[in-house]
Amino acid sequence: MANRSFNEEVYTVPKRPVTLWAVVTMSGTTPVLQKWVYPTLGTGTNVRTYTTASSVTAPSGTGSWPLQYTGGTEGVFSVTRTAAGLWTVALQDAYQRVMLVQAWQSLAGGAATIIGCSENTTITNMSAGAPGSVIGVGLLSATGTLADPATLTTVKLKIELLDATEP
């Protein structure tokens, strides 16, 4: 279960929905998780832009570990490529189930190489342990086959989950 305070002003029958966002840039075939740099009183470098998210080794076992401050970004711990068009998204917290996974590209010009996204249930494990749940993501090309986004492309992921233990 996620142990954070999420906004509960959502009107839906399933209990406690949570939406996570991840921004990933491609370096060759390697996905690189990005972190938004919030301004601190309007000062600092690279404010209001993305930078590479910090990477740390996940702790062993369970317990309180402030992942949101030390690794990953905004609920996502890491994104790794397992094969062409297949990613493993590790979350900072554990959840009950996946409701939706969406992806779209941001690129300076040309046509998007990825037009669809699906959950890869072979990889998805909601009780994976430390740091949290793991979700498999398949990225689909226009031909309906798994494909990697082009290098320097930004891929935005939207992941909707349920945090409730009750039906």
Per the CB < 8 A criterion, the answer to whether 66 and 114 are in contact is: no
- Structure confidence by residue, pLDDT tens digits, 139-164: 999 898 999 999 889 999 999 998 86
The boundaries of the domain holding residue 115 are 21-162
DSSP code for 128 = -
Does residue 65 belong to any structural domain of this protein? yes
pLDDT for residue 24 is more than 80: yes
pLDDT digits (tens, 9 = 90+) for 50-62: 888 887 766 555 5
Is residue 7 domain-resident?
no
Residue 6 lies in a domain: no
Q: Tell me, what's the pLDDT at 12? A: 78
CA quadruple 98, 74, 130, 6: dihedral positive or negative?
A: negative
Specify if 9 maps to a domain: no
From the list 155, 157, 153, the residue with the least C-alpha distance to 28 is 153
Average pLDDT over residues 32-41: 81
Q: Taking phi first (over 0 means left), then psi (-120 to 50 degrees means alpha), and beta for anything else, what does residue 146 get? A: beta
Which comes out higher in pLDDT, residue 41 or 114? 114
The answer to whether position 167 is within a domain reads no
pLDDT of residue 58: 61
pLDDT at res. 8: 59
- Residue range 114-134, pLDDT digits in tens: 899 999 999 999 987 767 899
- Out of 68-72, 73-77, 131-135, 155-159, the most confident range is 155-159
Residue 58 has φ and ψ, to the nearest 5°, of: -65, 145
136 domain-assigned: yes
85 in any annotated domain: yes
pLDDT of 21 over the 80 cut: yes
- For the chain, what is the radius of gyration of the CA atoms? 16
User: Quick check: is 3 in a domain?
Assistant: no
Count of structural domains, the chain: 1
